[in-house]
Structure 1
Amino acid sequence: MTAILDQLASSGSVDVGELAEQFEVSPATIRRDLQALEDGRLLSRTHGGAVAADVSFEVPVRYRSGQHREEKVKIARKVMAMLPSGPFTLGLTGGTTTHLLARSMATRVDVTVVTNALNIAHELVMRPRIKLIMTGGVSRTQSYELVGPLADQALNGLYMEVAVVGVDGISARGGLTTHDEIEANTNATMIRRAGKVIVVADGSKIGKICLAGIGPITDVATLVTDATADPAGVEEIRRTGVDVLVVE
């Protein structure tokens, strides 16, 4: 389904027959996928295909996990190598790259992880040598995060030496942004309670500004992105004093 959304984003419309031929599946399979995406308000079906929805909706995590995966894996590996050795407390917001980082934590010991992301908690709960702290809050289907006053209250009572934050957009002018204002506020709370903030963002998010502001670019100590990022956008962020690491 991710490939269908990618093609729809680039061309504005898709054809059932062409998709079936491209992906070597039956037209019935494509029609089922299109129906599922329409049910999620991610496109509008037409006779013989589909067009982009009139309103831009946030793509759910389950569809985003395959987008830019190679770049996100490299970013997660880089951040893993940057984390302190020995005992420390790590905050993780929701996001596909932070989820990949959580998977890498299986080899760590004596680490406390604080997160508001249900999929990250599921990843870590069976790791006996990692202490997991989960916030409360109201769940967001799009991001698998718990957000709102309950999450904020839990985070306000904690301190994290490092927070790794996923964003939907980051730029020198717009700072850190995401699609939902309540999620943005919870992420901002985690940032305020962290000693050091590392933002993870694949190249497609550099220079992008979304609806809800999480915080200014000056909140960030280090940005880790990949080589597909717009060089001008990267340079603008560097000029603000943020340490930008571009993985090859």
Structure 2
Amino acid sequence: MDRYVRWNALLELLTDSGRVSVEDAAAQLNVSQATIRRDFDQLAQQQMIIRTRGGAVANGVSYDLPLRYKTAKHSAEKQRIGAAAAALVAPGQVVGLNGGTTTTEVARALAVRPDLNTNAEGTQLTVVTNALNIANELLVRSQMKIVVAGGVVRPQSFELVGPLGGALLREVTLDLVLLGVNAIDVHLGAAAHHEGEAAMNSLMVGRAKRVVIIADSSKLGGHAFARICAIDRVETLVTDSGAPSSVIAEFEAAGVRVITA
């Protein structure tokens, strides 16, 4: 098992139970207790957990893991979602992208589309983003125009938040915004764990003609701390084939087009 996959699993165990022993973690992950001890020590050094005698306890931030620990979770689904969401983009558009693992897959799918990688007048794609990793993905692999909102970097997501970025976003118009979210619910709308990220995402929504939410099925029907927008602002939801038909029906009844990848 890859180290980051294992670390993600350990952090999820701690999120669920608040405390886990070396012995229980080793049994659940089918690895040696020595491996778990090393993992706990390394996670504690990064202040992701609190080490205890014989185990570890959550330190209150494991719900919001750094991006590099999230990449292995639902990776196949996110790649399919990314490709499906990228297919909604047309040459010459101005597209907004926020941060996150699923939007990273969208950026990678956009970068390999020949029709979008051109400097020809009227066909060059413009991407507006508040995520440093998204900008880097596109900058080194494409000929798109990249506009980066300013702000303070959140290490967990590589997103820039705060009033500096908000000032730029208020001055642009987006044909389409593709937003990764922590949760989306028919009644509660789209939401993020961090209020700064939610505020930036909400500004993108306010400047966009069309709003597309990209979220794997584990995020459907869930809730998070800070709302991004109400469900009536969402035109399309791109998710994976694991989404229950009953949940999809609820979104469609609310007027949201659902694409499953």
Whether TM-score is above 0.5 comes out as yes
* More displaced stretch, 134-143 vs 100-109: 100-109
- Identify the range of structure 1 (32-41 vs 69-78) with the bigger mean alpha-carbon deviation: 32-41
Which of 138, 141, 155 aligns to 2:155? It is 141
Matched residues, number:
245
Q: Is 1:183 aligned to 2:197, yes or no? A: yes
Return the alpha-carbon distance in structure 2 between the equivalents of residues 129 and 229 of structure 1: 35
For 2:222, what is the secondary structure of its paired residue? Answer: coil
- For 2:224, the equivalent position in structure 1 comes to 210
Displacement of 1:227 in angstroms is 2.5
Q: 1:104 aligns with which of 91, 109, 119?
A: 109
- Residue of 91, 99, 122 corresponding to 1:94: 99
- Specify the alignment match of 2:177 in structure 1: 163
Deviation string 1:118-140 (CA, Å, 9 cap, x unpaired) is 11111122245111111111111
Runs (5+) with no aligned partner, structure 1:
none
* CA distance 1:26–1:93, shift in 2 (3 Å): same
**1:175-212: CA deviations, max 9, x gaps?**
01111112111100011111111100011110111110
Structure 2: stretches of 5+ with no match in the other structure: 1-6, 118-123
Q: Which residue of 2 aligns with 1:38?
A: 44
Give the residue type in structure 1 aligned to 2:238.
Answer: V
1:1-248 map, 5 Å: 1-9=7-15, 13-17=19-23, 19=25, 22=29, 24=31, 27=34, 29-53=35-59, 57-84=63-90, 86-107=91-112, 108-109=116-117, 110-127=124-141, 129-247=143-261
CA distances 1:211-248 after superposition (whole Å, capped 9, x unpaired): 1011101111100111223443332222110101122x
Deviation sequence 1:56-115 (CA, Å, 0-9, x none)? 64122111111111111110011122222x221111011111011111222232211110
Amino acid of the structure 2 residue aligned with 1:101: V
Indicate the larger mover: 235-244 or 162-171. Answer: 235-244
Which letter maps to 1:31? R
Matches of 1:191 and 1:199 in 2, distance apart? 10
Identity fraction in percent: 41
TM-score of the pair, normalised by structure 1? 0.89
Which amino acid in structure 2 is aligned with residue 239 of structure 1?
A
Checking the alignment, whether the CA contact within 8 Å between 1:147 and 1:186 is kept in structure 2 is yes
Q: 2:15·2:63 contact (CA, 8 Å) conserved in 1?
A: no
Alignment-mate amino acid for residue 60 of structure 1: P
Cα distance in structure 1, aligned partners of 2:48 and 2:251: 31
When the two chains are superposed, the root-mean-square deviation of aligned CA atoms in Å is 2.3
Query: How far, CA to CA, are the matches of 1:210 and 1:117 in structure 2?
Result: 20
- CA distance in 2 between counterparts of 1:232 and 1:43 reads 37
Flag the 1:105–1:5 CA change in 2: closer, same or farther, 3 A: same
The AA in structure 2 aligned to 1:232 is S
CA drift at 1:9: 4.5
Q: 1:54 to 1:76 in 2, by over 3 A?
A: closer
Q: In the aligned structure 2, how far is the partner of 1:165 from the partner of 1:54?
A: 26
1:15 Cα deviation after fit: 4.0
CA separation in 1, counterparts of 2:191 and 2:33?
A: 39
Stretch of structure 1 that moved more, 236-245 or 206-215: 236-245
Q: What secondary structure, in the 3-state scheme, does the structure 1 residue paired with 2:87 have?
A: helix
TM-score, normalisation: structure 2: 0.85
TM-superposed CA distance for 1:48, in Å, is 2.4
**3-state SS, counterpart of residue 45 of structure 1:** strand
